[in-house]
Amino acid sequence: MQAIQRLERFLAGLEEEELMEILRVSGESKEFLNNELKKEFTRRREQAGQRCTVCGNVLPESSFELVFGSPEFRRKAKLCGKDCVSYFLESIESYNELLKRKSERSNGHRTEREEKDVQKKPEKKPAKKRKKTLLEKMYSLFF
C-alpha cells in the first residue's frame, strides 16, 4: 500500500506534458509498466551483486572474483582490492583450521595446543590424609 502512495505522489509531482508522454507510451504497449518494473529489478540485482564481499564497497572496473567450494557447492566472492583478497583468504584459512580442530576433538585426538597445555600442567600430588579428631575416633569405637 505504501508503494502505491509513493507512486501517486510521484505522479502528482509530474508536469502535465510528462503525464501525457507516460500515458502515450503506456497506451502503445500494454506491458510497458511490467517491462519497466522487470528492468528495474534486474538492474538492482546486478547492482547489489557488484559489491565487495569483505568491505561492502562498490566494485571498480578491475576487481577480483574468487570461485571456491566443493563441486556441489560452488560459491563466488567478488573483491575490490588486494587487501580484501588477502583478508578473505586468511579468514578462510582460519575457518579451515577451526574445522580441523573440531574434527580432531570429535575423533578423540588432541590438538598441538592442547598437548602443550597438558605437558605444562604439573602432576597433582595425592592429598594427605588428615588426622581424625577425638570425636571421630570415639564415634568409630562405638559405631
Strands (E), the chain: 64-68, 75-79
The reply to whether 140 falls in a domain is: no
Which pLDDT tens digit goes with each residue over 23-76? 888 777 778 778 888 888 887 777 666 888 899 888 887 888 889 888 888 888
Which residues pair with residue 78 across a beta bridge?
65
Q: Is the dihedral of CA 17, 19, 20, 25 positive or negative?
A: positive
Which pLDDT tens digit goes with each residue over 67-108? 988 888 888 888 999 999 999 999 888 888 888 888 777 766
- Is 94 in the same domain as 64? yes
> Which domain does 93 fall in, by range?
51-109
pTM, two decimal places: 0.41
- Is 61 in the same domain as 32? no
Name, in order, each residue with C-beta under 8 angstroms of 92's C-beta and a sequence gap of 6 or more: 68
- Is 31 in the same domain as 64? no
Is the confidence at residue 6, as pLDDT, over 80?
A: yes
- Is 56 in the same domain as 44? no
* Locus of grid cell 564415634: 139
